[in-house]
Amino acid sequence: MRVSTISNVSTADSSAERSMPRFLWLDLTRKCQLACVHCYNASGPDGTHGTMTRQDWINLLDQAAASGVRSVQLIGGEPTMHPDFTDLVEHALSLRLKVEVFSNMVRLMDTWWELFQREGVSLATSYYSDQSGQHNAMTGRPSHGRTRTNIAKAVQLGIPLRVGIIVGSDQQRAVQARRELEALGVRNVHIDRVRPFGRGAQGSDQDAGNLCGQCGTGKAAIGPTGEVSPCVFSGWLGVGNVRDTPLAAILSGIAMARANDTIRGATKSGQCDPGCEPNAECDPGYPLSDCSPRT
């Protein structure tokens, strides 16, 4: 839940200018079949699709492409549950944007597999254990078998896929899960810890010091109400709303610059953990990254 918004202006002065993001999270919905104990935005079966209309999302994609954005990730909640999911993927592809769909892969319609095989589309998902009991304990639903089956199908169809194994306890069989995924043919597997946001916060999740420090650097997130933030984990640092302000003005605006400064100050160095490539983003929220979060 967003609890504060940093005031924005329509035009940034030279001191507030930042490089325009090339990647956007499109945080489509808070609705999801699962109720994961670590969900960063507390999505679930009772969630909603927010106030962004189909045309709002289409307009946003048009503005994103015109602003130089090169790739988007559809996430949530479960993005495939959004009524305009297919249309949004199709429109993004028509704009020559790369599209990653971050899905729980529990229920994928037959007609979507052809869409996922389109050039420029990739899949991402989270996994928890090679044992169904441990996996289901994290998702709050009997989801293990269906997710595993669809992971195997994506590999069989040659769809680019990356999987983040989210670890919530020392007893979790993360190493065994990685071996299982690799045996299925998944080549892009990373192990991550539960992030201290949303249900994973176990208390207050409004601490910028828990972010990786790279939020807002070449990226931004847009939530289901149209609110923009430096990343999906920093939703309380709202910097403007695309329903009433052009995307480019928000991304290059003073409010975004101030939010980024707040994050850099809270994380001190503004860099990810040692061993990461320069400017690498945290995994699994950002495509093709080996970077782990500070926490």
- Do the beta carbons of residue 195 and residue 39 sit within 8 Å? no
Task: Give the global pTM.
Answer: 0.86
Give the confidence band of 19 by pLDDT, cuts at 50, 70, 90: low
pLDDT 10s digits, 193-250:
888 888 888 766 678 877 887 777 789 999 999 999 999 988 889 999 999 999 999 9
Question: How big is the chain by its Cα radius of gyration, in Å?
Answer: 18
pLDDT 10s digits, 182-193:
999 999 999 988
What pLDDT score was predicted for residue 205? 62
What pLDDT score was predicted for residue 226? 98
pLDDT of 69 strictly over 50: yes
| Token pair for 115 | 């869409």
Please state the three-class secondary structure of the chain as a single string: CCCEECCCCCCCCHHHCCCCCCEEEEECCCECCCCCCCCCCCCECCCCCCCCCHHHHHHHHHHHHHCCCCEEEEECCCHHHCCCHHHHHHHHHHCCCEEEEECCCCCCCHHHHHHHCCCCEEEEEEECCCCHHHHHHHHCCCCHHHHHHHHHHHHHCCCCEEEEEEECCCCCCHHHHHHHHHHHCCCEEEEEECCCCHHHCCCCCCCHHHCCCCCCCCEEEECCCCEEECCHHHCCEECCECCCCCHHHHHCCHHHHHHHHHHHHHCCCCCCCCCCCCCCCECCCCCCCCECCCC
| Token pair for 247 | 């995307």
Residue carrying structure tokens 């808070």: 30
| Token pair for 276 | 């990461």
Least confident piece of the model among 29-43, 155-169, 255-269, 272-286: 272-286
